[in-house]
């Protein structure tokens, strides 16, 4: 299916997705082809802690007539929790971002060693080698450990791997290698980008806690929150838009696509942005 000319009002912006350069299953070329097939007009590839897939994605985007925005999803910590901050429309050549991806790459490697050590103490041997095999050319992450746990027969599926070993508060949940949320926000601003608080509902915080996080995110220089992250329960986008409005933040939207077949995280498949707040693309 080709890209048809659609009026700007119906542009589909998908500003959050992953390729094989982090924990996605499609190469940048395959990802862009799928985005075109799903009618996406503007895409930001937001791999975890790396820009490595951008050049290839951009080349394919040009061939397909799609517009690309630069992006990244930075792993951070805040109040003892893992928090993701998406950076959009960043200057990839900026000295600060070049340094940040190197820092994050090192942090990810150190974290992988720490996760493997903890899994070993929990009775799971050779996890580092196993996870690295699944990471391939991409940056190593918890989903790769999860696949190794499934492969080893320790758990039956990915969901159990996170529930028992890798999810928040479990033995393989190592966060202390990551920068503070406020630091990541500052770096993104220094790199000329727009910091976006990723998928607020995924942290499973109380509304009060989420408001504290949002307030500190704003104070640090944050500019938008993802009011839409894939297919969501009815009313969630409006709820998040109210929080965005309260703190003077714009709204962003994206699928958080990782792999075909996960129907709640499909490229371009989500509700339109609430009209009560400015859209993040009005900021660039």
Footprint on this chain of ligand AMP (rule: CB under 6 A): 23, 48, 75, 141-143, 158-159, 162, 167, 258
Length of the chain as a residue count: 284
Sequence-separated (6 or more) residues with CB below 8 Å from residue 255: 14, 16, 17, 229, 230, 265, 266, 267, 268, 269, 270
d(CA 37, CA 27): 15
Contacts of Mn ion in 103-122 (CB under 5 A): none
23 is an interface residue for Mn ion by CB under 5 A: yes
d(CA 185, CA 181): 6
d(CA 219, CA 212): 11
Shortest Å, Cβ 265 to Mn ion: 9
Q: Are 68 and 61 in contact (CB under 8 A)?
A: yes
Nearer to ligand AMP, 36 or 116 (CB): 116
Shortest Å, Cβ 168 to ligand AMP: 9
Shortest Å, Cβ 53 to ligand AMP: 15
What is the CB neighbour count within 10 angstroms for residue 264?
A: 12
The interface partner of residue 62, options being Mn ion, ligand AMP, none and the CB cut-off 5 to 8 Å by kind, is none
The interface partner of residue 58, options being ligand AMP, Mn ion, none and the CB cut-off 5 to 8 Å by kind, is none
- Give the closest residue to 9 by CA, choosing from 32, 41, 33: 41
Chain centre to alpha carbon of residue 17? 7
256 is an interface residue for Mn ion by CB under 5 A: yes
Binding region for Mn ion (CB under 5 A) out of 17-25, 109-117, 159-167, 234-242: 17-25
Nearer to ligand AMP, 108 or 189 (CB): 108
d(CA 65, CA 46): 19
Binding region for Mn ion (CB under 5 A) out of 84-92, 95-103, 155-163, 217-225: 84-92
Helix (H, G, I), strand (E, B) or coil at 168: coil
Shortest Å, Cβ 126 to ligand AMP: 18
Report the residue closest to ligand AMP, judged by CB: 141
Q: Are 198 and 85 in contact (CB under 8 A)?
A: yes
Binding mask 180-199 for Mn ion (x = CB under 5 A): ------------------x-
Residues near Mn ion (CB under 5 A) are 23, 73, 84, 198, 256
């Amino acid at each position: 299916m080709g890209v048809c000319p659609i009026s700007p009002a119906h542009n589909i912006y998908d500003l959050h997705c992953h390729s094989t350069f982090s924990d996605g299953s499609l190469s940048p070329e395959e990802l862009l082809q799928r985005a075109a097939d799903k009618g996406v007009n503007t895409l930001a590839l937001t791999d975890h802690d790396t820009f490595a897939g951008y050049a290839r994605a951009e080349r394919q985007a040009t061939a397909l007539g799609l517009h690309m925005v630069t992006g990244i999803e930075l792993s951070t910590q805040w109040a003892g929790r893992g928090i993701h901050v998406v950076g959009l429309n960043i200057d990839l050549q900026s000295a600060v971002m070049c340094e940040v991806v190197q820092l994050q790459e090192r942090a990810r490697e150190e974290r992988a060693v720490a996760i493997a050590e903890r899994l070993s103490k929990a009775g799971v041997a050779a996890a580092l080698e196993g996870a690295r095999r699944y990471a391939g050319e991409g940056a190593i992450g918890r989903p790769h450990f999860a696949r190794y746990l499934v492969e080893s027969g320790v758990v039956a599926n990915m969901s159990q791997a996170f529930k028992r070993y890798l999810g928040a508060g479990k033995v393989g949940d190592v966060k202390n290698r990551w920068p503070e949320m406020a630091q990541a926000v500052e770096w993104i601003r220094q790199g000329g980008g727009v910091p976006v608080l990723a998928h607020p509902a995924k942290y499973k915080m109380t509304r009060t806690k989420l408001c504290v996080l949002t307030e500190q995110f704003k104070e640090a220089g944050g500019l938008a929150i993802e009011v839409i992250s894939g297919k969501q329960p009815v009313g969630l986008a409006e709820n998040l838009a109210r929080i965005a409005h309260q703190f003077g933040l714009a709204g962003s939207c994206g699928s958080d696509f990782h792999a075909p077949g996960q129907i709640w995280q499909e490229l371009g498949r989500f509700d339109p942005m609430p009209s009560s707040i400015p859209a993040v693309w009005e900021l660039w």
